[in-house]
Amino acid sequence: MESFKLNVLGTRGSVPVEGKNFSVYGGATSCYKIHAGNEEIYLDAGSGIVSALPAPNSNITILLTHMHLDHLVGLPFFIALTQKDRPIDIYAAERAGLLPKEAIDRLISNPFWPCKIEDYPAKVKFHLLPKKFSVGDVEVDTLEGSHPKGSTIYRLTYRGKSIVHATDFEHNPEACAALADFAKDCDILLYDAQYTAAEYERYKGYGHSTPEEGIKVAEKAAVKKLVFVHHAPLRNDDELAELEKIFGREGKITFAKFGDEFLL
């Protein structure tokens, strides 16, 4: 059977960090690569996408949750863009009245960058995000999340297995109920847990959540594995390991680490 796997390329939220204290959980911002048969799907294009090594003949798709810098900053450095005539499909919702290409052109163009996406050798197509569509044999469902100015939650299903990506999500009763329903019985839930419960009291309205709220959603949805993502930028390896001791459950709950691979 063709593989369905998730590779962690970027776990960090807000801004990339580096140094020996961030080597385990990783310092790159949001990017997760999914292999499903011949499809290679990237969830976000934060600085984590810079380390991606696409397979020579795979079909490449990038699914963007939203247009905040930490989720886009790696895109100009994605190696596949330099490969002549390499087809790349990019999906995103309209944000701030801008279509996907219009939004990305604001970032990847002069004076911020010396060229636009169409100047790269690859053949890039932009798509306005449908509510439901397919990427090869992968079924993609979408849900609008709870985040300032919006963020898309994705559910990817392949051969009866599902991954849900819910980064930049702030909990509230209505949003959590919708997410639990959307993620029902999924195999992996990637959930934004940038803040501790104490920190959240200071940062309400910033668009992020906590491990406690993620566990509630996962239990309600009967999720098989819960993976916390979008780590606070200055939370070092020791601090994240301590949180994992508190909230982790063998085989069930973990904090995403750079280089993690999950085979479904």
Per-residue pLDDT, 251: 87
Contact 102, 65 (CB under 8 A): no
CA proximity to 36, closest of 3, 1, 7, 6: 3
Per-residue pLDDT, 3: 87
DSSP string across 13-42: -SS---SGGGTTT-SSBSEEEEEETTEEEE
DSSP-assigned beta bridge partners for residue 29: 12
Per-residue pLDDT tens digits of the chain, which is 264 residues long: 468 999 999 999 999 999 999 999 999 999 999 999 999 999 999 999 999 999 999 999 999 999 999 999 999 999 999 999 999 999 999 999 999 999 999 999 999 999 999 999 999 999 999 999 999 999 999 999 999 989 999 999 999 999 999 999 999 999 999 999 999 999 999 999 999 999 999 999 999 999 999 999 999 999 999 999 999 999 999 999 999 999 999 889 999 999 999 999
Distances (CA, A) of 64 to 46, 77, 261: 10, 16, 21
CA gap 132, 145 in Å, rounded: 15
DSSP string across the chain: ---EEEEEEE-B-SS---SGGGTTT-SSBSEEEEEETTEEEEE--SGGGGG----TTPEEEEE-S---GGGTTTGGG-GGGGSTT-EEEEEE--BTTB-HHHHHHHHSSTTTSSS-GGGSSSEEEEEEPPSEEEETTEEEEEEE-SSTT--EEEEEEETTEEEEEE-S----HHHHHHHHHHTTT-SEEEEE--S-HHHHHHSTTSS---HHHHHHHHHHHT-SEEEEESB-TT--HHHHHHHHHHH-BTTTEEE--TT-EEE-
Contact 136, 36 (CB under 8 A): yes
Contact 222, 186 (CB under 8 A): no
pTM across the whole model: 0.97
237-247 vs 211-221: helix crossing angle, rounded to 10: 40
Per-residue pLDDT, 28: 98
CATH of 4-263, one of 2.120.10.80, 2.40.30.60, 3.20.20.150, 3.60.15.10: 3.60.15.10
For the chain, which residues make up each domain, given as ranges?
4-263
- The letter for the amino acid at 106 is R
CA gap 170, 40 in Å, rounded: 28
Find out whether the peptide bond into 111 is cis, omega within 30 degrees of 0.
Answer: yes
Separation of first and last alpha carbons in the chain: 11
